Structure 1
Amino acid sequence: MNQHQKIAQCFSPAAFIHDSEENYLAIESLIREQEIGGLTFFHSRHSAAANFEKRAEVLDVSGTLEKMIALINRYQAISKIPLLISIDGEYGLAMRIEKTPQYPFAITLGAIDENSAELIEEVGYRMGLDMKAAGVHLNLAPCSDVNTNPDNPVIGYRSFGTDPQKVANLSLAIYQGMKRAGIGACLKHFPGHGDTQTDSHLGLPVIQKTKEELEKEELLPFQFGIDQGVDMIMVGHLAAPALSEGKEIASSISREIITDLLKTEMGFKGIVISDALNMKAVADLFPEPGQLEWEAFNAGNDILCFSDHVKEGIEKIAEHASDEEIDAVFEKIWKLKEKLGVFDFKELELPTFDWERHAELQTKLANEYVSVVCGRIDSEELKRLAREWKLAHQSFFGEAKTTFSTILNNKYASDLSEISIDEAEKVIISLFVPSHKPLNQFGMDEKVLAEIKNLAQATSCMLVHFGNPLALKHLGNLTDFEAVICGFQSFEEAQEVACNFF
Structure 2
Amino acid sequence: MNRLQKIAQLFSPAAFVHDSEEEIQKLEQLIKSQQIGGITFFHSRHSAAANFEGRQEKLTFDNSLEKLKSLIKRYQSISKTPLLISIDAEFGLAMRIEQTPQYPYAITLGQLPIEMEPLIFESGKLIGEDLKAIGIHLNLAPVADCNTNPNNPVIGYRAFGDDKEKVSRFALAQYKGMIAGGVAACYKHFPGHGDTAVDSHLGLPIIDKTKEQLLQEELYPFIAGIKQGVDMIMVGHLAVPALTKGERLPASLSKHVLKDLLREELGFNGIVISDALNMKAVSELYPTKGELEWKAFEAGNDILCFSENITEGIHYINQNATDEQIDLSYQRIYNLKNKLGLNTASKPTFSKLNDNKANTFNQIVAQQLFNTHWDKAQIAHLLKSKDKITFIAAFNNLEDLKTPEFNNLNFRETLQLEDLNQQKLDLITEEQACILGIFLPSAKPINQFGMDQASIDKIKALSQNPNVLIIHFGNPLAAKTWQTPQSKAILLHAYQNLPEFQSQAWKHFRSTL
Which TM class, normalised by the smaller chain length?
A: over 0.9
How do 1:456-467 residues align onto structure 2 when only pairs under 5 Å count? 456-458=463-465, 460-467=467-474
Alignment size in residue pairs: 498
SS of the equivalent of 1:100 reads coil
Q: CA–CA distance in 2 between the matches of 1:116 and 1:159?
A: 17
Task: Kindly indicate whether the alpha-carbon contact (under 8 Å) linking 2:406 and 2:503 is maintained by their aligned counterparts in 1.
Answer: no
Cα offset, 1:404, TM superposition: 7.0
Task: Kindly indicate whether the alpha-carbon contact (under 8 Å) linking 1:18 and 1:60 is maintained by their aligned counterparts in 2.
Answer: no
Unmatched 5+ residue regions in structure 2?
A: none
Report the counterpart of residue 3 of structure 2 in structure 1. Answer: 3
Q: CA–CA distance in 1 between the matches of 2:137 and 2:294?
A: 25
Report the counterpart of residue 505 of structure 2 in structure 1. Answer: 498
Report the counterpart of residue 410 of structure 2 in structure 1. Answer: 412
Give deviations 1:48-100, integer Å, cap 9, x for gaps: 01133899x99883311111111111111111111000001111111011111
Q: CA–CA distance in 1 between the matches of 2:208 and 2:407?
A: 52
- Counterpart of 2:460, as a letter, is K
Report the counterpart of residue 221 of structure 2 in structure 1. Answer: 221
Give deviations 1:130-161, integer Å, cap 9, x for gaps: 00001000000011111011111110001100
SS of the equivalent of 2:351 reads coil
SS of the equivalent of 1:398 reads coil
- Counterpart of 1:192, as a letter, is G
Give deviations 1:28-58, integer Å, cap 9, x for gaps: 1111111100000111000101133899x99
Report the counterpart of residue 173 of structure 2 in structure 1. Answer: 173
Q: CA–CA distance in 1 between the matches of 2:501 and 2:392?
A: 18
Q: CA–CA distance in 2 between the matches of 1:446 and 1:417?
A: 19
- Counterpart of 2:259, as a letter, is T
Cα offset, 1:495, TM superposition: 1.1
Which range moved further: 345-354 or 369-378?
Answer: 369-378
Q: CA–CA distance in 2 between the matches of 1:30 and 1:434?
A: 39
- Counterpart of 2:180, as a letter, is R
Report the counterpart of residue 154 of structure 2 in structure 1. Answer: 154
- Counterpart of 1:6, as a letter, is K
Task: Kindly indicate whether the alpha-carbon contact (under 8 Å) linking 1:391 and 1:416 is maintained by their aligned counterparts in 2.
Answer: no
Cα offset, 1:368, TM superposition: 1.9
Q: CA–CA distance in 1 between the matches of 2:287 and 2:350?
A: 41
Q: CA–CA distance in 1 between the matches of 2:447 and 2:70?
A: 38
Q: CA–CA distance in 1 between the matches of 2:410 and 2:59?
A: 45
Q: CA–CA distance in 1 between the matches of 2:427 and 2:291?
A: 69
Q: CA–CA distance in 2 between the matches of 1:478 and 1:343?
A: 60
- Counterpart of 1:185, as a letter, is A
Task: Kindly indicate whether the alpha-carbon contact (under 8 Å) linking 2:466 and 2:490 is maintained by their aligned counterparts in 1.
Answer: no
Q: CA–CA distance in 1 between the matches of 2:265 and 2:250?
A: 19
How do 1:126-137 residues align onto structure 2 when only pairs under 5 Å count? 126-137=126-137
Report the counterpart of residue 429 of structure 1 in structure 2. Answer: 436
Report the counterpart of residue 70 of structure 1 in structure 2. Answer: 70
SS of the equivalent of 1:377 reads helix
Cα offset, 1:450, TM superposition: 1.8
- Counterpart of 2:478, as a letter, is A
Q: CA–CA distance in 1 between the matches of 2:53 and 2:113?
A: 40
- Counterpart of 2:237, as a letter, is H
Give deviations 1:219-254, integer Å, cap 9, x for gaps: 000000000000000000000000011100000010
Cα offset, 1:376, TM superposition: 5.0
SS of the equivalent of 1:162 reads coil
Identical residues among aligned pairs (%): 51
Q: CA–CA distance in 2 between the matches of 1:240 and 1:44?
A: 31
Report the counterpart of residue 193 of structure 2 in structure 1. Answer: 193
How do 1:18-33 residues align onto structure 2 when only pairs under 5 Å count? 18-33=18-33
Which of 393, 396, 408 does residue 398 from structure 1 map onto?
Answer: 396
Report the counterpart of residue 103 of structure 1 in structure 2. Answer: 103
- Counterpart of 2:329, as a letter, is V
How do 1:78-93 residues align onto structure 2 when only pairs under 5 Å count? 78-93=78-93
Cα offset, 1:403, TM superposition: 3.6
Cα offset, 1:407, TM superposition: 2.6
Report the counterpart of residue 454 of structure 2 in structure 1. Answer: 447
Cα offset, 1:497, TM superposition: 1.9
Q: CA–CA distance in 2 between the matches of 1:407 and 1:437?
A: 29
Task: Kindly indicate whether the alpha-carbon contact (under 8 Å) linking 2:130 and 2:354 is maintained by their aligned counterparts in 1.
Answer: no
- Counterpart of 2:263, as a letter, is K
Task: Kindly indicate whether the alpha-carbon contact (under 8 Å) linking 2:85 and 2:135 is maintained by their aligned counterparts in 1.
Answer: yes
Cα offset, 1:328, TM superposition: 1.2
Q: CA–CA distance in 2 between the matches of 1:108 and 1:416?
A: 28
Cα offset, 1:375, TM superposition: 9.2
Which of 472, 480, 493 does residue 479 from structure 2 map onto?
Answer: 472
Give deviations 1:9-35, integer Å, cap 9, x for gaps: 010000011001111111111111111
Report the counterpart of residue 380 of structure 2 in structure 1. Answer: 379
RMSD: 2.3
SS of the equivalent of 1:353 reads coil
SS of the equivalent of 1:85 reads strand
Task: Kindly indicate whether the alpha-carbon contact (under 8 Å) linking 2:398 and 2:415 is maintained by their aligned counterparts in 1.
Answer: no
- Counterpart of 1:494, as a letter, is F
Please say if 1:337 is aligned against 2:337. Answer: yes
Using a 3 Å threshold, how does the CA distance of structure 1 residues 114 and 298 change in structure 2: closer, same or farther?
Answer: closer
Q: CA–CA distance in 1 between the matches of 2:336 and 2:467?
A: 59
How do 1:203-282 residues align onto structure 2 when only pairs under 5 Å count? 203-282=203-282
Task: Kindly indicate whether the alpha-carbon contact (under 8 Å) linking 2:168 and 2:222 is maintained by their aligned counterparts in 1.
Answer: yes
Which range moved further: 356-365 or 75-84?
Answer: 356-365
Q: CA–CA distance in 2 between the matches of 1:40 and 1:15?
A: 6
- Counterpart of 1:382, as a letter, is L
Using a 3 Å threshold, how does the CA distance of structure 1 residues 348 and 331 change in structure 2: closer, same or farther?
Answer: closer
Which range moved further: 124-133 or 314-323?
Answer: 314-323
Which range moved further: 237-246 or 351-360?
Answer: 351-360
Report the counterpart of residue 141 of structure 2 in structure 1. Answer: 141
Using a 3 Å threshold, how does the CA distance of structure 1 residues 391 and 61 change in structure 2: closer, same or farther?
Answer: closer
SS of the equivalent of 2:41 reads strand
Cα offset, 1:344, TM superposition: 5.0
